[in-house]
Amino acid sequence: MQNKEKLIQCLLNLVEEKITTAKAEIESAREAQQNETKSSAGDKYETSREMMTQEIEKHSKSLADAEGQRNLLFHVSTLKSSSDVELGSWVETNHGCYFLATGMGSIKTDAFTIQTISLQSPIGKALLNKKCGDRFEFNGRQYTILNVD
């Protein structure tokens, strides 16, 4: 499906932006940490260094998460279509379209609008292993699966 390939590329671009940003933030915090001069107020110095260390840890976690998303998307791009909803499925329902890979929210292009969700999300769990024509209830709404690719 051409839209699926376009979506995966769009998601990869978003993830690459996250990776670039996280790396830049880590580098900036490291430089600030190294440039911090010890003043006569030693506690202020230690507090400042600790805050920068926490920033580095936060951005390192963001970087690891984004790299994990990128690896997942690379894996999804190699999967073949299945009639069952699984990782990498593009699912059309009577209440919208879903792409099961990584939860990055709504993606809109001129060709489609789709919710990107993870298998661990509540709606992802509800969709998993369903087939075209299956029905299920989620958050008080009745869903019918119209197409799985």
What's the average model confidence in pLDDT over 126-145?
Answer: 96
- pTM of this prediction? 0.85
The residue ranking higher by pLDDT, 29 or 145, is 145
User: What DSSP designation does 38 have?
Assistant: P
What's the average model confidence in pLDDT over 41-57?
Answer: 78
pLDDT at 40: 44
Q: Are strands 96-101 and 113-118 parallel, antiparallel or unpaired?
A: parallel
pLDDT at 41: 53
Residues contacting 49, CB < 8 A, separation 6+: 33, 36
Alpha-carbon distance 34 to 83, whole Å?
55
Tokens 């499906």 appear where? 1
- Sorted by where each begins, the domain ranges of the chain are 2-78, 90-148
pLDDT at 45: 62
pLDDT in tens, 31-42: 887 776 555 455
Tokens 């990128």 appear where? 70
- DSSP lists the bridge partners of residue 141 as 138
- DSSP lists the bridge partners of residue 147 as 92
Alpha-carbon distance 97 to 103, whole Å?
13
Judged by DSSP in three states, 98 sits in strand
Residue 43's pLDDT band (cuts 50, 70, 90): low
**Residue 55 tokens, joined:** 């920033």
Judged by DSSP in three states, 20 sits in helix
pLDDT in tens, 56-84: 999 999 999 999 999 999 999 878 888 99
pLDDT at 88: 95
Report the interhelical angle of 42-78 vs 2-35 (nearest 10°).
160
| pLDDT > 80? residue 46 | no
Looking at every residue in the chain, the average pLDDT score rounds to: 90
